[in-house]
Structure 1
């Protein structure tokens, strides 16, 4: 009798867990191991077979090391909660009304006002320093995940990325600094939200490719740097979609049960490429075709939602200083790009428009910025940033540029 009661209790507890597992599998349109086992139990009523197989099935369906995050996120979804607070305030995740996730800092109205103006003024001063060296400068404003004019946040929550970008660009315009606002490009083409990962704060490779097509035209029109139109044509590229492969930075905070996971697209050129990608700080030099030099296939060898970052398939990650030499375009321009993590997806494509592309991430770079740039004698310096807290506060810190 005691054994029967024990088995009944185990079955009951596993049935409760089944709800979470069934929830998980329903998000992705597939049947999990536990769901299949439960269906067999309902059909055959074989309690012992169910108990013997349940633990293995549950372990296969849910990441055991992150079970608490997964179940917690599942509970938040079941309860309809759209704000999941984090112990680190800027890692608080909200679910937008379109189902995507976004980071917010609750109660903080960031980067609107004097700080934004000061950052823009520092950018303009930096451009003027480059002008004295006869080096042109271009600021690229990357698109925000939340489209301008859209009410997507939960009631009472504020996010000021677009307002910061508007104020920043207005000051650049007042100072006469050259810039390109990429936001209208994405607002006027396709479904805006589809340009961004659902569970990550970055744009998708498709968006970076589209931005490269636009930027190639800008570089030719404003500076005379021509990119062969065959390179930027989608017909010159093959793509592979890794389905349900990526749990982004926001999704990692709440688990895959809260908002699902993302696909990620891998681009491969159909034309010949030969590049060398070197980063002294990380001690690597990679030479070869596009998908082996400026892309990192080891980052997508296996699916690992919590420990992997497939986004860094493109350009590898955030390095203080790195150079890409395009051996097939020796007559192209030498470009220095000051960047944040949005540039990961753009960097491999932009390198095809250059003879040499130097990337500098000011969050990690140590040294004299102007001297470093001058040593490369570039044809153009550009900045790609979003109007994020980490982006703007780490832009031109002149204690790093003035001896």
Structure 2
């Protein structure tokens, strides 16, 4: 039997057994391919009617290295399984009521408010140290993918990130530590789930841009750090959408069949920009326009679901220490941002409100934090973490620095 007949026979058998759902979707890597292929087969009553498209897809789109992940995820989807366990602890994936997926902690039932209150007291101590150095401090709570007040997880699973954040903020208020909660802004604008990727826990660039719009106003009102209105106007930016381009960290564990893939948006300012982005810990320096310096075009040169990470188009990644210098705003504020991965998408936009924005990722930073901050002479220190227990745990990595 020649190759063409072999593929035709395989397609026919797969279709008869219902397995074509897996194969077709893994070939094309996007939602809707199975439906289109199946309709063609039903209409033509002949497997050869879909042969050319499927064979081309085999040659071009099938990621053979991750075929078993694809097929495994497809089986989980067909069987309606909403929790996909992973051999690596912490990588268990759950499908939310929205159809999106997220990592879950199956042992989260042991949550108590004590840890959140402890973290708040540690934050207050940190803010007091900054106050003694005449440096103001602001804690910012970013929204997480699971909306508060909703049951989005499968039955039997609990999520305590939002409860943890509420407890943490209540203690901050009692200790008179300034904070901003971004969650209400996202809950009251648009569809909440639309702010996040389907296959990744991070917010989309659109959400980071929206967060910057709100933070720019807050920084102006509280500290007099004015951001020109034209910078935050969406009409002064061009957006380019890369279709079916991103398979997030959850999607990589279960393949594109389980929950599809995501589009990814590139923001390009219509106004002139000039920035330098440098990191002494990661040994790089980039100077140029917004899209050449604080963004990394090389991260989106080609679609690579399993080996690529388009999310790091913005900021490049989680660097221990890095500074974005805005040459168009030399009189702007100097801000130090204690960050986690959500700030990848935010930092390039926030840098436009600053003369210098220095980001410190406490998961990787080594050294004396207060000495480093005082040496930078900032006008403000901010922390931006998500409403999650792990986010707050990560924040206090600096307790172990020296």
- The TM-score normalised by the length of structure 2 is 0.91
Return the offset for 1:152: 1.1
Return the offset for 1:395: 1.4
Asked if 1 retains the 8 angstrom alpha-carbon contact of 2:85 and 2:93, the reply is yes
- Deviation per residue, 1:101-158 (Å, 9 max, x gap): 1111113236542111111111111000000000000000000111111121111111
Three-state SS of the structure 2 residue aligned to 1:220 is helix
- Deviation per residue, 1:325-358 (Å, 9 max, x gap): 1001000000000000000000000000000000
Note the 1:162-177 alignment, pairs <5 A: 162-177=162-177
- Deviation per residue, 1:288-329 (Å, 9 max, x gap): 000000000000000001111101100001000001110010
Note the 1:92-103 alignment, pairs <5 A: 92-103=92-103
Query: Residue 129 of structure 2 aligns with which residue?
Result: 129
4+ aligned runs moved over 6 Å, structure 1: 5-9, 31-41, 52-56
- Deviation per residue, 1:254-310 (Å, 9 max, x gap): 100000011111000000000000012221100000000000000000000111110
Q: Is 1:236 matched with 2:239?
A: no
Q: Hey, what's the Cα distance between the residues in 2 that align with 1:279 and 1:35?
A: 51
Q: Hey, what's the Cα distance between the residues in 2 that align with 1:138 and 1:384?
A: 9
Query: Residue 348 of structure 2 aligns with which residue?
Result: 348
Q: Hey, what's the Cα distance between the residues in 2 that align with 1:288 and 1:389?
A: 38
Asked if 2 retains the 8 angstrom alpha-carbon contact of 1:323 and 1:357, the reply is yes
Note the 1:54-73 alignment, pairs <5 A: 57-73=57-73
Task: Judge which range, 112-121 or 186-195, deviates more.
Answer: 112-121
Asked if 2 retains the 8 angstrom alpha-carbon contact of 1:37 and 1:57, the reply is no
Three-state SS of the structure 2 residue aligned to 1:89 is coil
Asked if 2 retains the 8 angstrom alpha-carbon contact of 1:316 and 1:344, the reply is yes
Q: Hey, what's the Cα distance between the residues in 2 that align with 1:350 and 1:120?
A: 25
Query: Residue 22 of structure 1 aligns with which residue?
Result: 24
Note the 1:66-215 alignment, pairs <5 A: 66-109=66-109, 112-215=112-215
User: Cα RMSD between the aligned structures?
Assistant: 2.8
Note the 1:228-377 alignment, pairs <5 A: 228-377=228-377
Task: Judge which range, 181-190 or 17-26, deviates more.
Answer: 17-26
Asked if 1 retains the 8 angstrom alpha-carbon contact of 2:11 and 2:47, the reply is no
Asked if 2 retains the 8 angstrom alpha-carbon contact of 1:89 and 1:106, the reply is no
Return the offset for 1:70: 0.4
Do the aligned partners of residues 11 and 99 (structure 1) sit closer, same or farther apart at CA in structure 2, a change above 3 Å counting?
closer
Return the offset for 1:91: 1.0
Three-state SS of the structure 2 residue aligned to 1:122 is helix
Q: Hey, what's the Cα distance between the residues in 2 that align with 1:150 and 1:218?
A: 28
Three-state SS of the structure 1 residue aligned to 2:396 is coil
Return the offset for 1:32: 10
Three-state SS of the structure 2 residue aligned to 1:176 is coil
Do the aligned partners of residues 260 and 146 (structure 1) sit closer, same or farther apart at CA in structure 2, a change above 3 Å counting?
same
Q: Mark the runs of 5 or more structure 1 residues left unpaired by the alignment.
A: none
Return the offset for 1:250: 0.8
Do the aligned partners of residues 380 and 234 (structure 1) sit closer, same or farther apart at CA in structure 2, a change above 3 Å counting?
same
Do the aligned partners of residues 30 and 382 (structure 1) sit closer, same or farther apart at CA in structure 2, a change above 3 Å counting?
same
Do the aligned partners of residues 70 and 376 (structure 1) sit closer, same or farther apart at CA in structure 2, a change above 3 Å counting?
same
Q: Hey, what's the Cα distance between the residues in 1 that align with 2:321 and 2:298?
A: 21
Three-state SS of the structure 2 residue aligned to 1:267 is strand
Three-state SS of the structure 1 residue aligned to 2:108 is coil
Asked if 2 retains the 8 angstrom alpha-carbon contact of 1:200 and 1:250, the reply is yes
Asked if 1 retains the 8 angstrom alpha-carbon contact of 2:29 and 2:61, the reply is no
Three-state SS of the structure 2 residue aligned to 1:165 is helix
Q: Mark the runs of 5 or more structure 2 residues left unpaired by the alignment.
A: none
Do the aligned partners of residues 187 and 338 (structure 1) sit closer, same or farther apart at CA in structure 2, a change above 3 Å counting?
same
Do the aligned partners of residues 53 and 120 (structure 1) sit closer, same or farther apart at CA in structure 2, a change above 3 Å counting?
closer
Do the aligned partners of residues 354 and 53 (structure 1) sit closer, same or farther apart at CA in structure 2, a change above 3 Å counting?
closer
Asked if 1 retains the 8 angstrom alpha-carbon contact of 2:29 and 2:257, the reply is no
Note the 1:388-403 alignment, pairs <5 A: 388-401=388-401, 403=402
Asked if 2 retains the 8 angstrom alpha-carbon contact of 1:33 and 1:57, the reply is no
Do the aligned partners of residues 131 and 279 (structure 1) sit closer, same or farther apart at CA in structure 2, a change above 3 Å counting?
same
Return the offset for 1:41: 9.2
Q: Hey, what's the Cα distance between the residues in 2 that align with 1:216 and 1:197?
A: 24
